[in-house]
Every structure is written in C-alpha cells, then in structure tokens.
Amino acid sequence: MVSSTAQANRKYPDMLDLKPVLGAIDAVLGSAARPVELHEPRFGQRERELVLDCIDSNWVSSAGKYVTRFEEMVAAATGARHAVAIVNGTAALHAALVLEGVEQGDEVLLPAITFVATANAVSHAGAIPHFVDSTWDTLGLDPQALEAHLDAVAERRNGAWVNKQTGRRLRAVVPVHIFGHPVDMAALGAVAAKYELVIVEDATESLGSTLGGKGCGTFGHSAVLSFNGNKIVTTGGGGMIVTDDEAHARHARHFTSTAKRAHAWAFDHDEVAYNYRLPNINAALGCGQMERLPAMVDAKRRLAERYLLAFSDFPWARIYREPEGSQSNYWLNTLVLEREYAAERDRLLAALHGHGIRARPLWTPMHLLPMYRDCPRSQLPVAEDMHTRCINLPSSPFLAESANKV
C-alpha cells in the first residue's frame, strides 16, 4: 500500500511501487499453479463422455444430435428463441452481418476498442468498419458519442442514411459487451432507431451476462456468441447466431450450411452460401460445458469480488466493476490504472509476467492497426485513454477455488 505520509505529501508517488500490486494479485490467485494464464478451459468427465459418444457413434461432423442440443442449451441460457451453431465467432459475425443485409461498400459502426475479429468480420462482408468511441460507464460503445458523431456526419439521401464524407450507406452497428460488461442497450437502441441502423450484438464475451435481467444477445435483431478456447464456455472453436426471429434463424441455418435443400439424395443448393456449420464433436463438448455455465458464471463473479476487495484500498488503480443495472459474467477482470500512471503500464506488465502472471494490455485500438488506419471514425479520446491504462488479469473460473479466503 502507499503509505499515508506519502499520500499526505502528494497525491501520487512518482513511480509506482509494484510490490503491493503483485502482492494483491498473489493473494487473489492463492495456490493456483504459476504461470497463471489469462483464461483457461477446464473439462470434466461429462465432456469426455459426450465427445466419446460422437466417436463411438461415428457422428463427428456437421450433422448429429449434439448440434441441436447445444443450440437449444445456448438459446435457453441467453433467452433467445433460436440459435444456429457456427464454426467460430468470426464466421458467425460475418454471416450475421450478411444476413442482416450488410452489402459490399456499406459502412458498419463498431467500437475502436474490440478484438480484431469484429472489424475483420465487417471486412469479410465487403463493408467498411467505421469506428466510434467507448465509454468508461461500460467499457463498450458509447451511445451518446455515437449519436453526436452521426448528427455530424450522417445525411439522408434517396431514403437511406449515408456518411456524407464518403457517400457510403450506414447500415448496421455492432455493440460489443467488452469483457462481459453489457453496453447500454436502451440508449443504443434509440440511436439505432433514429439512424435506421440494424443492431448485431457481438456477445462473444458475454454469455451469461444480463442487463435489466435480460440476457446479452437478446437486444439486437441478432447476436453472435463465441466458444473459442479462451471464452467462458468452449467447444475448442465455435460460434452461434441467436435471434428471436424464426424466419431469420431458418435462413441463417441454410446460409451457413451450403444452402442445401433438404432431400434424401439430391444435391440442390439455391444460393451462394457458406460451409460454416459447427461439427457435432465440437457441439458435444459444448453440451458438457453448458451444463456448467451457471457454476462458471458464479465462480467468475466470486473471483471478481476477490479482485475488487484486494484493490479496494489502492489510490492509483482499481478493478473495473460491472455497470449499474447489469450482472456481468466478468469474462476478464480489468485493472484500471489512474491516468497519471498510464506510462507505467508496460513496466507493470513486465513485472507481472516475470512473476508468472500472464496479464495482458487492452487490444490495440482498431484505428491504430495498419489495415484499418484509413477507415472512417469519430474522435476517439476515450478509446485511446482506455488502451493506455487497462490491464486484464487472470480470470479462469477455477481460480475462484484456489483464491485465498479473505
């Protein structure tokens, strides 16, 4: 801890004493084996049984009972009516954007602070990512900043909203529930309605999170989940499109499975489509994992409580707390340094790695990556600030059990 005399003399010491930070994190991680990764999967006997059943029955590929069962379990967990299993989250985002009518040359709004897959999926759809700022209220897209930006750059031409600087149609907005913390969807919904933008939620990090009691993934017309190895539930690689719209779900299933018309033997396909279906063997793993989702959310929330408590006395750093009115799955816990210490971030990361704690900085904002440098964007002061002083800490659910009791 910073001594009270140092605090009395000036608000902050010049250089951070890193020992108390390491000490606080060590106390939270307790007896967990070092090095401690950011997020690791864990499988039990149940996953083993279900995967073995696929092998023994020869049903390993893109048909089989586990795909349907996994879809039903994920739909139930989010509260969405329909779910369509996809080979990974990026492919699911790509397909979801195309299915929502995003076309070549459209612009899609998304936060500059996200994993690169969100922007890549927009590019895969032939559209141009248009980056907007984030808010410290949720770590996600800032609806107010979005509205102010659109008020300045959007114009109605021939019955569509276009970016008057580029002449391109503004088609969709992709909010990302960063680290499991829900975006303010009521505020975003109002802005999307004003500018007639379709909402496709990137809920890849927020399975099990709720906002006002409603599951992430049920606010947009459709939403996307991921079951990559580092997510709260994993199928090795996997994704899902969820929606309440039955016709949309039916088309999503068709469009991601080569648009093959059902028939006992004929190969009839009726549109250019994708082979994006999740194999049964991955879905089997997912079924086993989904049985444990409530327990994993509970463990992650307990781990977050430990981190919050461990850092509650730090004057120059805090653990990010879930937004008001939400229940976050706390996919990744985030340490936020005070602005004065942004320059210390990498020294802290190096010390953590040297100590067997595989912490990571926030993703490089999309507009700073070479391939997205020239994309349209709003002012991004919060995104750039966030990037300089957030650090993700190990957050695997099983760490809640190794933590020292406080």
Ligand X SMILES: *Cc1c(COP(=O)(O)O)cnc(C)c1O
Given the rule CB under 6 A, which of 40-48, 110-118, 126-134, 347-355 is the region that contacts ligand X? 110-118
Given the rule CB under 6 A, which of 85-93, 145-153, 213-221, 264-272 is the region that contacts ligand X? 85-93
CB 223 within 8 A of CB 199: no
Residue from 134, 228, 256, 396 in contact with ligand X (CB under 6 A): 228
CB 174 within 8 A of CB 138: no
Q: Rounded to the nearest whole angstrom, what is the least distance from the CB of residue 270 to ligand X in the complex?
A: 27
Q: Rounded to the nearest whole angstrom, what is the least distance from the CB of residue 180 to ligand X in the complex?
A: 10
Footprint of ligand X on residues 162-181 (CB under 6 A)? 176
Does 117 participate in binding ligand X (rule CB under 6 A)?
A: yes
CA 96 vs CA 69, 196, 201, 291, 388: distances in Å: 21, 17, 10, 26, 32
Q: Rounded to the nearest whole angstrom, what is the least distance from the CB of residue 360 to ligand X in the complex?
A: 12
Q: Vertex 182, ends 114 and 230: CA angle to 5°?
A: 55
Residue from 41, 64, 89, 217 in contact with ligand X (CB under 6 A): 89
Footprint of ligand X on residues 238-257 (CB under 6 A)? 239
The residues facing 161 across adjacent strands are 156
Our CA dihedral for 314, 183, 146, 100, rounded to 10 degrees, sits at: 150
Which pair of tokens denotes residue 248?
């949309």
Residue from 142, 202, 322, 344 in contact with ligand X (CB under 6 A): 202
For the chain, give percent helix, strand, coil, nearest 5. Answer: 40, 20, 40
Q: In terms of CB distance, is 89 or 143 closer to ligand X?
A: 89
Does 108 participate in binding ligand X (rule CB under 6 A)?
A: no
Q: In terms of CB distance, is 122 or 299 closer to ligand X?
A: 122
Q: How far is CA 15 from the centre of its chain?
A: 33
Does 78 participate in binding ligand X (rule CB under 6 A)?
A: no
Distance (Å, rounded) from C-alpha 158 to C-alpha 169?
Answer: 10
Q: Rounded to the nearest whole angstrom, what is the least distance from the CB of residue 167 to ligand X in the complex?
A: 28
- Residue showing tokens 């600030």: 385
Give the chain's end-to-end CA distance (angstroms, integer).
17
Does 134 participate in binding ligand X (rule CB under 6 A)?
A: no
Q: Pairing between strand 170-173 and 198-202?
A: parallel
Given the rule CB under 6 A, which of 9-17, 77-85, 109-117, 336-344 is the region that contacts ligand X? 109-117
Distance (Å, rounded) from C-alpha 35 to C-alpha 254?
Answer: 44
Q: Rounded to the nearest whole angstrom, what is the least distance from the CB of residue 212 to ligand X in the complex?
A: 22
Q: Which residues bind ligand X (CB under 6 A)?
A: 88-90, 114-115, 117-118, 176, 202, 204-205, 226, 228, 239
